[in-house]
Amino acid sequence: ETGAKLYNNFGNGILWKAFVKRRNVYFFSPNISKPDLYHFYPKSVQLFNEWKKLIEDVEKLHGNTPKAAIIPTSIQLSE
C-alpha cells in the first residue's frame, strides 16, 4: 500500500533523480494500466500497450536511428 513504510515511488529515489530524470522513459506492457504504473513510477514515464505505437513515438522524437536501451523483464512491478 502507498502508506506502508516500505512503499517507494522510484521517482523519489536518488538513482532516478541522478540518472533517469533527464531521459525519456517508456514502459511497454500490454497487461498493466496507468494507475498501476504510476503507483510505482513518476508520471513522466510513458506507458505503451502497443509495440508499434512505442516505436512510432520514439522515431518522432529521435528519428529513425535512436540510441536506446530495451530491458526485457518478466516482472516489472512488485506485488
* Band (15; pLDDT cuts 50, 70, 90): confident
Model confidence over 36-75: pLDDT tens digits? 888 888 888 899 999 999 999 988 988 888 887 777 776 5
- Residue tagged 496507468 (cell numbers): 34
- Give me the pLDDT at residue 75, please: 57
Cell numbers for 46, please give them: 510513458
* Band (10; pLDDT cuts 50, 70, 90): confident
Tell me the three state secondary structure of residue 26. Answer: strand
Model confidence over 26-47: pLDDT tens digits? 888 888 899 888 888 888 889 9
Question: What is the model's pTM?
Answer: 0.69
